[in-house]
Structure formats: structure tokens, C-alpha cells
Amino acid sequence: MAVLLGVAISLYGVYLVVTALTSHTHSDLGSTAFGGAIVVLMGMLPLFAGRALLRFQRWGRSPAVLMDTLCLAVAYVALRGTGADVPLGMVAAAFGVTGIVLLLHPKTTAALWPENEQRSGNGKRPGTEG
């Protein structure tokens, strides 16, 4: 789900940049294109997190949970709106809740932290030196 979220955010950022560059009204070209570039960069975070989760790397869960929590904030604002904002807010809320539930599910935790791998008190994995 994190990869899907990253793709959606990145595509929206590309859309903002292209719209700013091809618009006939260049009133705020620089800030719109810059905003689109920032959105593209924000979309990279869940892409990298999703890739890490597919490789069973633990660090990928935190940014994925962060992005799903941001989906809930977006959903809250959209649900307070009118018109097309309400159904989009429902989709964002469903996506955020589903992502958080799946990421924090015990089976996900078990896959990322296998039981046979004991943790030592210093935060290092047993058998590793340094």
C-alpha cells in the first residue's frame, strides 16, 4: 500500500509541475512548480518505505505509518468540505486506516522481527560485531 501511495503522490506532483509549466496564466509559475517538485519528493518517501517493507527491512514501517497517518489528516479536512471532497475524504480515510492496521498487525510485526532473532540490550543484533 505504501508503494501505491507513493506513486499517487508523485504523479500528483508531476501533474502540478506540468500544469504550472503549460498554463497560459503564469501568475505564480515559480511557486507552483516548486510546490509540485516538493510533492514529488514527498512521494518518494512512501516509495522507499514500500520497497524496504517488500525486502522485510524494519525501517520501512515508520515512514509508511507516518504517511498513512497523514492520509487521516487529509481525510479529516476533506470530510469537512463539500461536493467531491467528501467521497475523496472517505477514500483517504479508508486508505489511511487500512494501511495503519496492516502495518501494525501482529503478523507484519512477526515478519519484520522474527522470533528466532534475539535482541540484545545494546540495540545490536546478536552475532554482529562493531
* Contact indicator for 37, 14 with CB cutoff of 8 Å: no
What grid cell was written down for 24? Answer: 497560459
Query: What is the mean pLDDT of the segment spanning 2-24?
Result: 82
- For the stretch 88-107, pLDDT in tens is 889 889 989 999 999 999 99
Task: Give the Cα separation of 23 and 70 in Å (integer).
Answer: 29
On whether the pTM is more than 0.85, the answer is: no
pLDDT of residue 18: 84
pLDDT of residue 116: 62
> Which of 90, 56, 49 minimizes the C-alpha distance to 72?
90
- For the stretch 32-91, pLDDT in tens is 778 888 888 888 888 899 899 999 999 999 999 998 998 898 889 888 988 888 888 898
Q: Is the pLDDT of residue 126 over 80?
A: no
Task: Give the Cα separation of 89 and 85 in Å (integer).
Answer: 6
pLDDT of residue 11: 85
Task: Give 117's contacts (C-beta < 8 A, 6+ positions apart).
Answer: 125, 126
> Which of 60, 61, 91, 62 minimizes the C-alpha distance to 74?
91
